[in-house]
Structure 1
């Protein structure tokens, strides 16, 4: 797939701090950093400090429990468990107002596939981004569409499956190319708006997401398809299947709480 022109990064590094650029701002509350970037920084730190040959990042859970002001961030990690086949590590993200997010990851050692047949998630029938309409360009490139490949630029209508292709056009940290794992962590946050948007707009704010990967993405564009949503009393849970250009790569579960749309 074609590469998107690279733009100014979301953060620059100064010692052990990450300084946000203006476009790192979220859209729920003015003056706050976008939650998906907190998950991206946590994934980056976990990969940098705990990755090892033969281990695969199988799960990443990101808890987003406090808005982070547009101010420097720090990330700390801790290895919880280091076994022969399983490694577990945690990360915490600290802002000017204290602890703003945390993450945990499970890494599993790769081995041979066991024999036998298990029904698998099939590849989706979505066209690649280049065969769709012009993308939505904000701080990243996004194609939002439904199961009939019609653009959702005017909002979601009906009960059809919601879909998206996402391609990052900025580095997370200046001077550092995005790794496949960090790219997947950034994309996973989009599971919430895909799963929880109404025909009147998005009225649920993401509280956390859990990304489960059978393998890392092979393409720079990552696809999501909403496969479940249910909510009651202002609490929503949802689920998306994640794809790359070669097929399904995993799933993302998200929880969210009712929240008025920003003005």
Structure 2
């Protein structure tokens, strides 16, 4: 696989996936993180404006899809002086497989004064060496440094860095990098010592600012589950400090990531 092999090739209105666009659940299933990335890219390309900041991105992943060409259509919902709202619909020949909504807020002067609650910067040093090779199970098509072991007590922590372009040779923007990393909120907040027993149905990424570097850090900060339904949250970092949060909802799945083959049901 070339070091520049994009996950998708643009052919007309369609985005044709490469083999490494598959996810961990099945060798012929599109990875949900890439759908969120495509939605973020389309929303940014069509609705971004200087001075407007992507403060929220919600991605709904309600249908699995094989490695089929994807189309992303966007629409402007609201365009006010201080807020812009836009939606995206992600489809294949089998129908709609996901949707996204973005909120853009007008940047301005930062209020002065002390704040009663401030999220601290974490103490994980950015990696300086290549990530270790993963020899068992699904191999992530991105660089991944695990600061903690899967399912270990305490907050799970990882550093991530994209290895391939998302579409052709189009450069990855900071917003798209954040959107791609945000999907990792589900495995990080929902993993158990014996594997991942929940599969996420969505994620909502909120950003006070965009990442300043290619490295994005994700730290699990909460998990609650009952009756086979889970919600998890993470704090998102770059090398300068925290940049936002991500919350996911998930449903119990009997297929643990890396333990069995098969496709999850959404």
The normalised TM-score by structure 1 is 0.92
Of 110, 127, 135, which aligns to 1:129?
A: 127
Question: SS at the partner of 1:130?
Answer: coil
Query: Could you list the per-position Cα deviations for residues 127-167 of structure 1 after superposition, in whole angstroms to 9, with x for gaps in the alignment?
Result: 11116963656311101222xxxxx2xx322x211000000
Give the conservation status (yes or no) of the 8 Å contact 1:69–1:96: no
Structure 1: which 5+ runs fail to align?
A: 147-151
Give the conservation status (yes or no) of the 8 Å contact 1:86–1:109: yes
* Residue 227, structure 1, aligned to residue 221, structure 2: yes
Structure 2: how far apart are the matches of 1:132 and 1:78? 40
Question: SS at the partner of 1:129?
Answer: coil
Aligned residue-pair number: 251
The CA deviation at 1:96 is: 2.2
Map 1:99-178 to 2 at 5 A.
Answer: 99-118=96-115, 119-130=117-128, 134=132, 136=134, 138-146=140-148, 152=149, 155-157=150-152, 159-178=153-172
Give the conservation status (yes or no) of the 8 Å contact 1:135–1:143: no
* Residue 49, structure 1, aligned to residue 46, structure 2: yes
Give the conservation status (yes or no) of the 8 Å contact 1:63–1:209: yes
Deviates more, 1:62-71 or 1:25-34: 25-34
The CA deviation at 1:114 is: 1.4
Map 1:67-78 to 2 at 5 A.
Answer: 67-78=64-75
**Alignment match, 1:97:** 94
**Alignment match, 1:196:** 190
RMSD: 1.5
Question: SS at the partner of 1:53?
Answer: coil
Give the conservation status (yes or no) of the 8 Å contact 2:36–2:59: yes
The CA deviation at 1:240 is: 0.2
Structure 1: how far apart are the matches of 2:199 and 2:131? 28
Give the conservation status (yes or no) of the 8 Å contact 1:69–1:97: no
**Alignment match, 1:244:** 238
The normalised TM-score by structure 2 is 0.91
Describe the shift of the 1:104–1:120 C-alpha distance in structure 2 as closer, same or farther (beyond 3 A).
same
Structure 2: how far apart are the matches of 1:241 and 1:132? 23
Structure 2: how far apart are the matches of 1:79 and 1:198? 40
Query: Could you list the per-position Cα deviations for residues 36-72 of structure 1 after superposition, in whole angstroms to 9, with x for gaps in the alignment?
Result: 0100000000000000010000000000000122110
* Residue 81, structure 1, aligned to residue 78, structure 2: yes
Structure 2: how far apart are the matches of 1:86 and 1:36? 26
* Residue 23, structure 1, aligned to residue 33, structure 2: no
* Residue 9, structure 1, aligned to residue 3, structure 2: no
